[in-house]
Amino acid sequence: MDELVDQLRAILGHGGVLDAAGDIAPYGTDWRGLFDHRPRAVVRPADTAGVAAAVRLCAASGVAIVPQGGNTSMVGGAVPGTAGSQIVLSLARMNAIRTIDRSGLTLEIEAGVTLRAAQLAAEAAGAFLPLSISAEGSAQIGGVISTNAGGNNTLRFGNTRDLVLGLEVVLPDGRIWNGLRRLRKDNTGYALRHLFAGAEGTLGIITAAVLRLAPMPRSRIACFCGLPSIGAVLDLYRRLRDEDEAALYAFEYISGTALDLALRHLPGARLPLERAAAHYVLVELATTRRAGDLGATLETVLGEALDAGSLDDAAIANSEAQRLAFWSLREHMADAQKRAGASIKNDVSVPVAAVPALLARAADMLAQHYPGARMAAFGHIGDGNIHLNVIQPEGADPARFEAQGDELMERVNTIIADLGGSFSAEHGIGLLKRHAFATWRGEVERDVMLRIKAAIDPAAIMNPGKIFEP
Ligand code: MLT
Ligand code: ZN
């Protein structure tokens, strides 16, 4: 190991390798604080050739590599699975915006560019990157693609995978696959880019990508609504979708419990409505059309929902600052819940029509087995994706509550399976959901994935312990 670290330093220079305890500690701990496995060292190559050289050295020594971007995984996907023996490869220094093709609407960037910087680069060129997640200020594009993150615009533009036109990947043997094509059509055998997207760094290290952009909307409008029931939430969703599906860019759900926690734990947060409701949604409509009158569309639909008894109250943002304030409340849900104590996160999806059954059955299950636990559901309800997060009972011992995590998640997953859903909608599997993967994905599916893993990474050095139990 010491020899490997010296060799890595010889090719990457002193700034390219960290191994002092204080320097490497943050790379071993995930955002949620669930895992703390210190790496042996952290390498920070500045270019693809440096990544390939580092991978070749690690491969020659049989040492495991953990690719890491912004370290914002919700499932421990980017920290070592064991302490002291793995090398974290940080992509943070590979942060160049390579090219923007304004007429073809594509963006080529390196893996270490934050999602926020990528959005701004697109915007500066007069285009729109239709990908937005709560962690976008820190999450880096390589990790976002490796997670196949979803987020707020999935209902209109798809998951990250749907935006990936091309990739550059360093394989576990150190070879570089240059698949940085920017084509809308490229039907040439297996779609390798789709294999690496969502592979959680277990098949190789994404070093650069070509993303599909969209035209910049000419206008957008956001609205914060209070609703009496989850049925009413879905009713409003269907009305908006049927009225103008192309304009519906986001439809985000916040339960009353989740909103109360945000108001309690986020400094300066306030309810954008005059009175509290049982459920809330944040709607965003946008259009590239010159004549598109989003305000009229929204008012028509809200008026109909009000008449039908599906809406309590609504506030339409009257300035860009207010639109951003609505979004800030939504995007800080995870922070608020972190401050409220131990939480067990279930990032689940079901067919949209089954969301009311999911919430009702989960609430019954929690009342029966975990009295006092708070179900703080929120998420991307237009995709049937609910963050069914369960917060510890007030005043309870956090460690004792966390110890029930696997059992609670399995109870949720049983309900999910019964409703035809998925135990991981957008956060992936990482270290945290391996058990669910083994239980809820059939033998054939697991076997095919394990064969793919063995074919591409026969020595099992690439992010070992993620997705599959070692
Ligand atoms: C979100 O939608 O805010 C994220 O996926 C975070 C979370 O689930 O806590
Ligand atoms: Zn989410």
ipTM for the predicted complex: 0.96
Query: Domain boundary residue among 197, 215, 233?
Result: 215
Q: Between the CA of residue 241 and those of 11, 228, 284, 310, 334, what are the distances in Å? A: 54, 20, 12, 15, 27
Residue 313 lies in a domain: yes
Contact at 8 Å (CB) between 261 and 374? yes
Same structural domain, 231 and 304: yes
Query: Domain boundary residue among 43, 71, 90?
Result: 90
Question: What distance in angstroms lies between residue 255's CA and the mean position of ligand 2's atoms?
Answer: 14
In this prediction, residue 363 carries a pLDDT of 98
Question: What distance in angstroms lies between residue 277's CA and the mean position of ligand 1's atoms?
Answer: 22
Question: What distance in angstroms lies between residue 150's CA and the mean position of ligand 2's atoms?
Answer: 7
Same structural domain, 368 and 423: yes
d(CA 112, CA 110): 6
Same structural domain, 74 and 105: no
Sign of CA pseudo-dihedral 67, 71, 75, 76: positive
Pocket of ligand 1 (CB under 6 A): 74, 134, 333-334, 345, 347, 379, 387
Calculate mean pLDDT across residues 44-62: 98
Residue 294 has pLDDT above 80, yes or no: yes
What is the residue with the minimal CA distance to atom 3 of ligand 1? 134
Same structural domain, 81 and 109: no
Query: Domain boundary residue among 90, 109, 138?
Result: 90
Which residue range forms the structural domain that includes residue 390? 341-440
Half-sphere exposure of 326 (CA within 13 A, CB side): 27
For residue 114, what is the DSSP state?
A: B
Calculate mean pLDDT across residues 156-170: 98
CATH classification at residue 396: 3.30.70.2740
Residue 447 lies in a domain: no
Calculate mean pLDDT across residues 74-84: 97
Amino acid at residue number 369: H
| Look-up of token digits 């559901």 | 377
Residue 470 has pLDDT above 90, yes or no: no
221: which strand partners? Answer: 285
Calculate mean pLDDT across residues 319-344: 96
Please choose from 31, 32, 74 the residue to mutate so as to test ligand 1's pocket, defined by most ligand atoms within 8 A of CB. 74
pLDDT band at residue 79 under the 50/70/90 scheme: very high
Same structural domain, 80 and 111: no
What is the residue with the minimal CA distance to atom 8 of ligand 1? 387
Question: What distance in angstroms lies between residue 344's CA and the mean position of ligand 1's atoms?
Answer: 12
Helical (H) or strand (E) element with 11: helix 2-12
Residue 327 has pLDDT above 90, yes or no: yes
Calculate mean pLDDT across residues 33-56: 97
In this prediction, residue 292 carries a pLDDT of 73
Residue 466 lies in a domain: no
Segment 333-360, tens digit of pLDDT: 999 999 999 999 999 999 999 999 999 9
Residue 326 lies in a domain: yes
Same structural domain, 110 and 68: no
The domain tally of the chain equals: 4
Same structural domain, 16 and 104: no
Amino acid at residue number 76: G
Residue 234 has pLDDT above 90, yes or no: yes
- Rounded to a whole number of angstroms, the distance between the first and last alpha carbons of the chain is 21
Calculate mean pLDDT across residues 175-203: 97
Residue 454 lies in a domain: no
Q: Which atom of ligand 1 is nearest to the CA of 334?
A: 9
Same structural domain, 328 and 240: yes
Same structural domain, 210 and 102: yes
Residue 378 lies in a domain: yes
Length of the chain counted residue by residue: 470
Residue 258 lies in a domain: yes
pLDDT band at residue 74 under the 50/70/90 scheme: very high
Q: pTM surpassing 0.80?
A: yes
Q: Which atom of ligand 1 is nearest to the CA of 252?
A: 2
Residue 242 lies in a domain: yes
Same structural domain, 292 and 383: no
Q: Which atom of ligand 1 is nearest to the CA of 426?
A: 5
CATH classification at residue 153: 3.30.465.10
Q: Which atom of ligand 1 is nearest to the CA of 330?
A: 3
Same structural domain, 49 and 126: no
Least confident of 68-77, 130-139, 290-299, 319-328: 290-299
Question: What distance in angstroms lies between residue 146's CA and the mean position of ligand 1's atoms?
Answer: 17
Same structural domain, 276 and 194: no
β-pair type (176-179, 219-227) = unpaired
